[in-house]
Structure 1
Amino acid sequence: MLSSNNQNKLERIVRENQFEHAVHYLKESVRQGIRLSKKKIETYNEIGSSRIGGDPDLPASVEWPVDSGGTPMTFLAQLRLSELTHQDEEALLPVKGILYFFVGVDEPAYGIEHKVIYVPEDKLQEAKRLRSPEVTALEREFTGYRVSARSTMEPPNYGYVDYEMVEDDEHEYEQYEELCFELNDGNSNDLAVMFGYPSTQHGDCEYEAALHLLTGKQYNYSTDSALEQITDHFKGDSDRAKQEVGDTLLLLALDSDQEVGFCWWDAGELQFYIRKEDLLAGNFANTYCSLYSS
């Protein structure tokens, strides 16, 4: 749910772009997000800052995660939660500590091996830069960038938007894209987003993630089938099943970026999902990772 300030901002931008016909739809569908933008190349002069790529700062008590074959996973990001607190308008994240993201081989594009690690603040005193093993799952090195966070409004993208609600005789989808860019303060340095809409063509990512997180089953590209299986998991409670899908959140989406060295298949996006219940409990042991590429 948008804050009152963002609701006012949304109404103003909608009015300035003459999209009043879609204002109610946007109020209901816009998500409160956090965007992460490249700030500068990481120098590692400061331990524990938010960064994407490069090497992590880990306490000795945290072992570098390995995949099912015993190969070290590839480090992707560390997010200092105290740097995100003021941007997290829905108070979903823990207020302190660091989240670390690692990934295994990114094939196939679903059910990708990965690890999300949460280290509380009191465990970070011993953290220090830990250089990546010579060989990791992706066999690639990424340039580390310090990142800054900002709170954003995230309208539905092309995979999720109801075209009938935003298009009319005077407005085409290209104009809606311009509106979206203004709503989320689009930035060429944007590298990642939290709690927004994942890039996709079909708008069904939450069904895939929820099905796996709750049942361990593979998605067969049918939302009806996925919802039926989730309903069975909850012993016929269809309302609970629908709520679970709605409460499956995009924890982090990492875009392809030439400077960092990220290239997810054909310049796609790597996505991590979590159940809202687990997120609020600070439980990052049950997450899902997939990849979208056009």
Structure 2
Amino acid sequence: MKESNLKKLETLAEEHGFTHALPYLIANTRQAISCVKAGPADYGTPSASRVGGDPDLPPEVEWPLTTDGEPMTFLVQLNLRELAGQDEAALLPARGMLSFFVGIPEPAYDIEHRVLFIHEDRLAAAVRRIAPEVTALEEVYNGYGLEAMASLEPPNYAYVDEEQIEAENVGYEEYEDLCFALGHREHDEVARLFGYPAGQHDDAEYEAALMLLTGTTYSYHKNEALQQITSHFGGDEEKAKQEIQDTLVLLELDSDDDVGFCWWDAGMLQFFIRREDLLAGRFDRTYCSLYSS
């Protein structure tokens, strides 16, 4: 953890009464990038980070289609040059753009989608592209500019060890306040990269890793998924555990009234990628699922 992040964590942990849990927080807090809405989309600035609205695409890039030949729905584009200064773990490419498209999010697992990586040398040719026809979600979303901020994310509800954080005068409610302060939650966040996936159970990475590595649908039993991934690696359980740990949240997209996003019951659309594929720029190897309470 960077010295500045460590200092911030120490300061806020003391302010919120969690000095007793500091070793646990230092060991388990993850770097994240928070993306907040920054006013209506400015189409006069091509290839700027944007959520909703229309994408900017070079002429040779075809609009992604579902397996039924229907245009996918555009969700968000991230100019990686704008994110580079906030990517404190240096996981993303420093230049270029990521564009996210989705088909119908039903069922909530293995959702058809595309993540396009547009190289920096093609961005100059990118222009606003209107969908060729009504897209898969049959929705027209309002476009907003995005501003990226580096943030810290301690383990959330599904991942936290409550015995580590509880003390005489503080519990989970106070812990949520600490997480809120560390993660810029006071801002109008609509998307987040990395950190912990939102949910009620700590198995989202198992589901994603299992599908990405073996093409097998998750049965909602972590031990069974671990066995299947271990078998994929010739019986090497430590390798399997590391792969699950290295399955990252590439993007978590929140429901948002301004944009018009509503993922089932005000849930989250989540895109996952293996660390190895991310570092290699293999954005054709991603997994998409939906979490809704």
TM-score using structure 2 length? 0.98
2:209 aligned with 1:203, yes or no?
Answer: no
Q: Secondary structure at the match of 1:84?
A: helix
1:92 pairs with 2:91: yes
2:36 aligned residue: 37
Identity of matched residues, %: 56
Instruction: Find the aligned partners of 1:43 and 1:82 in 2 and give their Cα distance.
Output: 17
> How far apart are the structure 2 equivalents of 1:166 and 1:127?
48
What secondary structure sits across from 1:158 in the alignment?
A: coil
Shift of 1:43: 3.0
After superposition, residues 1-294 of structure 1 pair within 5 angstroms as 2-294=1-293
Q: Cα distance, 1:61 vs. partner?
A: 1.2
How far did residue 4 of structure 1 move? 1.4
RMSD of the alignment, in Å?
A: 0.8
For residues 36-66 of structure 1, give each alpha carbon's deviation from its aligned partner in whole angstroms, at most 9, with x where no partner exists.
0000101311111000000000001110000
Q: Verify the 8 A CA contact 2:17 2:170 in the aligned structure 1.
A: no
Amino acid in the other structure paired with 1:190:
E
Q: Counterpart of 1:4 in structure 2: which amino acid? A: E
Mapped to 2, the partners of 1:5 and 1:46 lie a distance apart of 32
Instruction: Return structure 1 stretches of 4+ with deviation > 4 angstroms.
Output: none
Rounded Cα–Cα distance in structure 1 between residues aligned with 2:159 and 2:141: 31
SS in 1 for 2:264: coil
Q: Note the C-alpha offset of 1:12.
A: 1.0
Alignment partners' CA distance in 2, 1:233 and 1:134? 41
Q: Distance in 2 between matches of 1:42 and 1:202?
A: 35
Cα offset, 1:183, TM superposition: 1.2
Counterpart residue identity of residue 255, structure 2: S
Residues in 1 aligned to 2:11 and 2:255: alpha-carbon distance in whole angstroms:
32
Tell me the SS of whatever aligns to 2:8.
helix
Query: Which amino acid in structure 2 is aligned with residue 164 of structure 1?
Result: E
SS in 1 for 2:116: strand
User: What is the TM-score with the length of structure 1 in the denominator?
Assistant: 0.98
Partner AA of 1:228 in structure 2: Q
Question: Which residue identity does 2:13 align to in structure 1?
Answer: V
Q: Which amino acid aligns with 2:283?
A: F
- Aligned to 1:289, the other structure's residue is in SS state strand
Q: Which amino acid aligns with 1:51?
A: R
Query: In 2, Cα distance between the equivalents of 1:41 and 1:8?
Result: 35
Matched to 1:192, the amino acid is A
- Provide the C-alpha distance between the structure 2 equivalents of 1:4 and 1:69, rounded to a whole number of angstroms: 50
Structure 2: runs of 5+ lacking an equivalent: none
Deviations 1:152-189 (A, max 9, x none): 00111111111111113321211100111111122341
Q: Distance in 1 between matches of 2:140 and 2:287?
A: 23
Q: Can you list the C-alpha shifts for 1:88-147, whole angstroms capped at 9, x where unaligned?
A: 001000000000000000100000000001011011221100012331111111001000
Greater alpha carbon shift after TM alignment, 279-288 vs 11-20? 11-20
What SS does the aligned partner of 1:46 have? coil
Question: Hey, what's the Cα distance between the residues in 1 that align with 2:183 and 2:124?
Answer: 35
In 2, the alpha carbon distance for the partners of 1:109 and 1:187 equals: 28
Q: CA deviation at 1:27?
A: 0.5
Gaps of 5+ in 1: none
Instruction: Give the Å deviation of 1:211.
Output: 0.3
Rounded to whole Å, the distance in 1 between the matches of 2:289 and 2:155 is 19
Write the distance in 1 (CA, Å) between the matches of 2:192 and 2:179. Answer: 14
Q: What amino acid sits opposite 2:100 in the alignment?
A: F
